[in-house]
Amino acid sequence: MFIDEIDVFVKAGDGGAGCVSFRREKYVPRGGPDGGDGGDGGSIWLEADPALNTLLDYHYKRHYEAERGQHGQGGNKHGASGDDLSLKVPVGTVVSDRDTGEVLGDLAQPGQRLLAAKGPRGGRGNARFATSTNRAPRRADLGRVGAGRWIHLELKLLADAGVIGFPNAGKSTLVSRLSAAKPKIADYPFTTLEPVLGIVGAGGDRSFVIADLPGLIPGAAAGKGLGHQFLRHTERTRVLVHLLDLDPGTGRNPGQDFDAINAELAAYSPALAARPQIVAASKMDLPDAAARLGPVRELCARRGVPFVAISAVTGQGLPELTRMIAEHLAGHAWAAAS
């Protein structure tokens, strides 16, 4: 099960209470106060773990509380602080306060940590209150209650390139041919229900991560179909591979499909609509597909969008597509570094 959005309740551990105690030793008259402090409550941290790719664990358990601090004791013995609780989340998780919507952090790097609930201090023992005028204080603090709140976890996949297009355009087949990923592929109409990541070798020691994203339909940005659920996963991609289906049997118009998908991207996020694209005209192995290629090539020339004709079945155009993606990513990384 792929879970990419969930609410979780986190609570810091309570602080331990301070102690009221007095020294009572045979040869020490007027022993005085010796009550120790309570221990601090444990904190809750979120940590990005590259071994995870879903928030599924939090589907089964929604409430988390750190360990409480121990109470102080006589003899100036301070209570032990509660252990912190570290919750692992996938890299690319955005954390926000569920009630206010405030973004608390973006765990975009492996090992990055975020303090979700800070543990409170423990209470002071009566030894802390002794003064020259009050040598036998009978006062101690209670430990503070750990703060709790609901947080919203939203996973945005970290992929260099995202494959977009209408359902059944061949996105899953393309990703399976370019990488070792194994998305579901069948000879009947269906759409991917969850994103799939694959690593593509680009020659030498170069590689990039490609994502097979669920097909978009008109109205996806408004919540229709599955597209709206996964449009967030395109936000981190540096280049979009826009797959256009040339299969004559579908009755679709590749040019209209191109405009419809871009309209959905713009409706969801103007910044996403401005993301660089590479158009891949797919299914060139089918009869009469080549006859539909000319208008697509002309459309891309007018829009200034890089274009390549491919067939994921025969392998036509796949090396060129891989090269185009890798060159764009290399140029993008150089521009960012400079």
Interval 57-92: pLDDT, tens:
899 999 999 999 999 999 999 999 999 999 999 898
* Per CATH, domain 5-155 is 2.70.210.12: yes
Instruction: Give percent of the chain above pLDDT 70.
Output: 88
Task: Evaluate if residue 324 carries a pLDDT over 70.
Answer: yes
CA separation for the pair 238, 321 (Å, rounded): 15
Domain with CATH 3.40.50.300 in the chain: 161-337
Residues 6+ away with beta carbon under 8 Å from 275: 234, 237, 238, 239, 240, 265
Q: Which helix (H) or strand (E) holds 214?
A: none
Interval 209-228: pLDDT, tens:
888 876 665 554 455 444 55
Task: Evaluate if residue 333 carries a pLDDT over 70.
Answer: no
Write the single-letter amino acid at 89. V
33: DSSP letter: B
Report the predicted TM-score, pTM, of the whole model to 2 decimal places: 0.70
Q: Which helix (H) or strand (E) holds 227?
A: helix 227-230
Confidence of residue 186 (pLDDT cuts 50, 70, 90): very low
Chain position carrying tokens 């998780």: 93
- Sign (positive or negative) of CA dihedral 119, 125, 127, 133: positive
Report whether 284 contacts 296 (CB < 8 A).
no
Interval 143-168: pLDDT, tens:
999 999 999 999 887 788 988 888 77
Domain with CATH 2.70.210.12 in the chain: 5-155
Task: Evaluate if residue 183 carries a pLDDT over 60.
Answer: no
Burial class (CB in 10 A: 0-12, 13-18, 19+), 280: buried
Q: Which token pair is 145?
A: 């209650």
Report whether 179 contacts 312 (CB < 8 A).
no
Q: In 89-121, which positions are buried (b, 16+ CB within 10 angstroms) versus exposed (e)?
A: bbbbbbbbeeeeeeebbbbeeeebebebbbbbb
Q: Which fold has domain 161-337?
A: Rossmann fold (3.40.50)
Which one is predicted more confidently, 324 or 196? 324
Angle ∠(52,57,59) on CA atoms, nearest 5: 130
For the chain, first and last CA: distance in Å?
Answer: 41
- Sign (positive or negative) of CA dihedral 244, 250, 256, 260: negative
300: DSSP letter: H
pLDDT at 230: 63
